[in-house]
Amino acid sequence: MKKLISFTLILIVLAACHKPYQKKVTYIATGAVSAYNLQYLDDQNELVNTEVIPQSAQDIWKYEFMSDQGEIVYINGDYKDINSALKIQLLIDGKVYKQAETTGDTIKVLVVSGVVPYE
Amino acid sequence: MCLVQISSAQESIIYGVIIDTNTNQAIERAQIVSAISGEGTISGSDGSFKLTSRLNFPVELTIDHISFVTKTLIVDSSRFIDLVIYLQPKVTYLDEITIIGKYENDKPYRSEKVTLKTIEKTNIAGIGNLLRHEPNVGGIRKGAAGIDPVVRGFKYSQLNIQINGGTKIEGGCPNRMDPAMAHMDMNDLQSITILKGPYALKYGPNFGGVINMTTHKPRFYNKFENHVDFLMGGQTNHTGFKSGLGVHGGNNVVAYYLKGNYKQYGDYKAGNDLVIPSSLEQYNVAGSIGIKPAEGHILEIGLDRSWGRNVDFPALPMDERKDDTKIFNLSYLGTDFGKRVNYIRFKVYKSYVQHEMDNKNRPFSDTVVAISNIKAINSGGRLGVNLNTFKGRLELGTDYEQISKDGVRTKYLIMQPNLPRFYEDLWNNALTKNLGVYAEWQRKFAALDFIVSLRYDYNTANSDTLIRNKPNGAPVYENDNTASTFNNISFSIGLTWHLNKYNELTFSLGRGVRSPDMTERFIILLPISYDPYDYLGNPQLKPEANNELDLGYRFNKSNIGAVDVSVFFSYVTNYITGELMPPSVVKPQTKGVLGVKKFVNIDRAWLAGFEFTYNTPIQYEWFINLNAAYTMGVNPESTQYVFENGEVIDERIINNDPLPEIPPFESNISIGYRFLNQKLIPEFNIRLVAAQNKVSEAYYEPASPGFTTLDFILTYKYNAHLKVYAGITNIFNTNYYEHLNRRIIGSESPLYEPGRMFYMNLIFNL
């Protein structure tokens, strides 16, 4: 009986422990031929600003982290070179979740955002 | 229930069943002894016994059990026996219903009791959902959980909902996705009692009724014992499971109870195969320790922590993301103070709700992600002294309740550069306090039971400035006149007239006054009601009063059964409802609403209705339980706002408009048979619900069609340790919805109830 009681107590304590499901978030920026700015939410939920100088339009900038379901994911980018372009993708667990692109648009800030979906 | 059979000129056989008064469960190993001859027997695992006696009738029997109060009764064969052998638990729980004993059992007003057996055998996981099967109790469904009860047309803070006779919880959500009941796990409950009408005034301010949830409690034993309870239930459709594991035990000085529950459900399919988002995950751990330092004195300390995660509410703009609740309570009950004092009771509690909800699972979150965080704290206590005085019982007491609430909604504009966010107050450090004193005196005359109650409440409330700004900081609404104070007097009087052994008439008259609640006083521009308007709190509201009259008739005879009929009429003054504000005063802040309504008092409204129940005698193997109930409510003069292209263009007065959200006529029939000495019980439950055509024009409330559902439940008691319940609900896969179900957000579709569902519950008690 004592073993049964102990086992029961352990199960009850375990029931109180709970970890949310996580998913892999990937931001990808590509397509630019000159410098561009990115602003994104990182794994600490902080907004980070960075400037990227690509060597060619095939260069890929990438940032990956694990995120709980329901977290806001956000990245925006802009460039000043009218001959450039930008494509931003937001991947969840390796699959494209949202994306946007512009070519020669130096005014619009490209925003790709959403919420890590719940299963 | 006893049956007597004369087997020969000198020998009689008495059959019977011993039942626990509190739980309606059979009592095993009770001793049944003839007081004169000493002939005796012991009840079996199903509570049944067979006693052979050679004495002439009447025979005096003594029923004895270590955990129950000994009972003596006279068995008189000439009357073919009409005694039900219910035993009162000897253990003095800190449970309101138990300790009042016989006085409480003769209430002159209508009450319903949901027993442990009902809780164990259902597949339903939510308390509010379960209560919908009680007569004149409906529930407002907005999602997967948190069905909000409506009793005789009264709802929200018109009902006094509490745990173990005093502990209260304040939900966090302004849209009541987490009403008080949603914070309790049904598996932790031993029973639920509904006291209808404004009559039971010792439970705190009581306007339309009291719902008291009694949890499992530590039980004292003569020698140290440990027990394990285990529950596992699973179901198809709304696919998921519930489980509970508990240990309890103790000796005659210290006792404990510790339990954990976990449940998880997915979406369900309605009868038309429409998938309704309704997933949820909830778990909790609850524990309490009882100490009996001396006979007649019990101290109990309890803590309950519960968590809700990702609960879908398709009829609300948000889903529950996280709900963390803590409930602490400390109770004392003393019963050993001589003949003059029956008992002294003392209780303090604190409940703390941290509620988070968001729109992340909604299409609108593609542009704006809104997250609301609310903290709600309810703390208070109660002191009561019950005396033998004035030839009856007098209870004097005081209680206190303090509710504080604070909450913010954060909006992230996720399609804009720099991810701008802004904040809106949902509650702004709102605080209400209620101090009450009460007296209740009961006296029994030869054929008459009399009870009178009086209650005084001193209620105060205040909040930081009610303010709502636009994202650019410009004010939309501001009100710093938030303080209010009320002195409320409530009273009730009741009579039970025992016409003879089988028939009694009851009469109750009462006035219950409640102060406006936190929402009615302080809500800041949120669409929280049935209709599409932003609502604005009004700190200057007056208290609402319910003046009610109940008449009842009860009949109970062992070979015929029990009938209970009640009718009521309720005249509400200062009825609280919403009134449209001119756009020049305040503009709505929610997309899609038609305007802003402010809570106001109107002169009056009235409600009336009846309940009827019939239960066959327990002595028969077959059984039929029948109930029927109806309520209607009327606002003598309501205002309908006429709108066109999303704007209010006119208003008109409607006389005798039905009150909104009143459930229609409903009847439940349960038919079954007890096979194998009550080990195997198949049972059919039929639910007949009429169409609701008495709907509020002012609220543009749509009518709802009637429906019929059929459920089947099979109970199998393998032995004293294992019970199995298996069933099919909604056998014909009827596509239906309750009148009180809200509509799915963004559509005209009502929130349909689940279609056919198979389930099984296993219960082990060791």
**Residues B731-766: tens digit of each pLDDT:** 999 999 999 999 998 888 899 999 999 999 999 998
Mutate to test the interface with B, among A4, A6, A115, A116 (most CBs of B within 10 A): A115
Per-residue pLDDT at B473: 78
Q: Which amino acid is at B501?
A: K
Determine contact: A9 vs chain B, CB below 8 A.
Answer: yes
Greatest Cα-to-Cα distance within chain B, rounded to the nearest angstrom: 99
CB-based contact A47 B261, cutoff 8 Å: no
Same domain, B142 and B80: no
Same domain, B584 and B730: yes
Strands (E), B295-420: 297-311, 319-334, 341-358, 368-389, 392-413
| Residue A86 contacts residue A60 (beta carbons within 8 Å) | no
**Half-sphere exposure in the Cβ direction for B138 (13 Å, CA):** 28
CATH number of B282's domain: 2.40.170.20
Tell me the residues of chain B between 342 and 401 that have a Cβ less than 8 Å away from chain A: 358, 360-361, 365-366, 369
Same domain, B147 and B106: yes
CB-based contact B417 A111, cutoff 8 Å: yes
CB < 8 Å to B420, chain A = none
Residue B93 pLDDT > 60: no
Determine contact: B262 vs chain A, CB below 8 A.
Answer: yes
Mutate to test the interface with B, among A2, A8, A23, A118 (most CBs of B within 10 A): A8
Residue B633 pLDDT > 90: yes
Closest listed residue to residue B138, CA positions, set B670, B697, B569, B607: B607
Same domain, B550 and B633: yes
- pLDDT, one tens digit per residue, over B275-306 is 999 999 999 999 999 999 998 899 999 999 99
Closest listed residue to residue B251, CA positions, set B311, B296, B291: B291
Q: How many domains does chain B have?
A: 2
- Count helices and strands (H / E) in chain B: 5, 44
Enclosing domain of residue B32: 2-87
Domain spans, chain A: 20-115
Greatest Cα-to-Cα distance within chain A, rounded to the nearest angstrom: 78
- Count helices and strands (H / E) in chain A: 1, 8
A58 to chain B nearest CA, in Å?
A: 25
B225 to chain A nearest CA, in Å?
A: 10
Q: Quick check: is B95 in a domain?
A: no
Residue B656 pLDDT > 80: yes
Phi, psi for residue B131 in degrees, rounded to 5 = -65, -20
* B45/B672: higher pLDDT: B672
Q: How confident is the model at residue A7 (pLDDT cuts 50, 70, 90)?
A: low
Same domain, B703 and B592: yes
Same domain, B328 and B191: yes
Task: Measure the CA–CA gap between A83 and A77, rounded to whole angstroms.
Answer: 16
Distance, CA of B159 to chain centre: 9
Work out the average pLDDT over A35-57.
94
Dihedral sign for Cα atoms in the order B16, B17, B20, B24: negative
Place of tokens 């966010």: B421
Per-residue pLDDT at B84: 62
B99-117 as b/e, with b when 16 or more CB fall inside 10 Å? bbeebbebbbbbbbbbbbb
Per-residue pLDDT at B7: 44
Q: DSSP per residue over B406-426, as a string?
A: EEEEEEEETTSTT--EEEEEE
Per-residue pLDDT at B150: 96
Q: Which fold does the domain A20-115 belong to in CATH?
A: Immunoglobulin-like (2.60.40)
**Which DSSP helix (H) or strand (E) runs through B514?**
strand B503-514
ipTM of the complex: 0.88
Per-residue pLDDT at B101: 40
- pLDDT, one tens digit per residue, over B407-451 is 999 999 999 999 999 898 888 899 999 999 999 999 988 889 999
Closest listed residue to residue B157, CA positions, set B204, B196, B213, B207: B207
Residue B64 pLDDT > 60: yes
Closest listed residue to residue B167, CA positions, set B496, B466, B401, B483: B401
Which member of A13, A16, A72 has the closest CB to residue B412?
Answer: A72
Phi, psi for residue B326 in degrees, rounded to 5 = -125, 135
**Half-sphere exposure in the Cβ direction for A23 (13 Å, CA):** 20
CATH number of B36's domain: 2.60.40.1120
Task: Measure the CA–CA gap between B382 and B400, rounded to whole angstroms.
Answer: 6
Q: Which residue of A has its CA nearest to B266?
A: A119
Residue B608 pLDDT > 60: yes
Per-residue pLDDT at B658: 95
Same domain, B114 and B204: yes
Q: How confident is the model at residue B27 (pLDDT cuts 50, 70, 90)?
A: confident
Which member of A70, A74, A78 has the closest CB to residue B414?
Answer: A74
| Residue B443 contacts residue B104 (beta carbons within 8 Å) | no
Per-residue pLDDT at B107: 86
CB-based contact B766 A109, cutoff 8 Å: no
A33 to chain B nearest CA, in Å?
A: 22
Same domain, B279 and B136: yes
* B345/B446: higher pLDDT: B345
Per-residue pLDDT at B605: 96
B760 to chain A nearest CA, in Å?
A: 22
Residue B347 pLDDT > 70: yes
Tell me what percent of the residues of chain A surpass a pLDDT of 70.
83
Q: Quick check: is B93 in a domain?
A: no
Place of tokens 């000493």: B38
Same domain, B33 and B104: no
- pLDDT, one tens digit per residue, over B561-606 is 999 999 999 999 999 999 888 888 888 888 888 889 999 999 999 9
CB < 8 Å to A12, chain B = 245-247, 258-260, 285
Task: Measure the CA–CA gap between B487 and B399, rounded to whole angstroms.
Answer: 15
- Distances, alpha carbon B57 to alpha carbons B52, B64, B86, B723, in Å: 12, 21, 21, 38
Length of chain A: 119
Task: Measure the CA–CA gap between B115 and B102, rounded to whole angstroms.
Answer: 18
Q: What is the pTM of this model?
A: 0.86
CA angle at residue B445 from B441 to B446, to 5 degrees? Answer: 160
Q: Would you call the peptide bond into B58 cis, given omega within 30 degrees of 0 as the criterion?
A: yes
CB-based contact B247 A9, cutoff 8 Å: yes
Task: Measure the CA–CA gap between A45 and A73, rounded to whole angstroms.
Answer: 9
| Residue B33 contacts residue B64 (beta carbons within 8 Å) | yes
| Residue B233 contacts residue B241 (beta carbons within 8 Å) | yes
Same domain, B78 and B196: no
B224 to chain A nearest CA, in Å?
A: 13
Per-residue pLDDT at A19: 57
> Within 10 Å of residue B403's Cβ, how many Cβ atoms?
21
Q: Which amino acid is at B100?
A: I
Q: Quick check: is B557 in a domain?
A: yes
Lowest average pLDDT, out of B57-61, B187-191, B193-197, goes to B57-61
Q: How confident is the model at residue B8 (pLDDT cuts 50, 70, 90)?
A: very low
Task: Measure the CA–CA gap between B762 and B256, rounded to whole angstroms.
Answer: 24
Same domain, B581 and B631: yes
Q: How confident is the model at residue B76 (pLDDT cuts 50, 70, 90)?
A: low
- pLDDT, one tens digit per residue, over B209-244 is 999 999 998 988 888 999 999 999 999 998 999 999
Same domain, B636 and B544: yes
Task: Measure the CA–CA gap between B211 and B111, rounded to whole angstroms.
Answer: 10
Residue at a domain's end among B87, B116, B141: B87
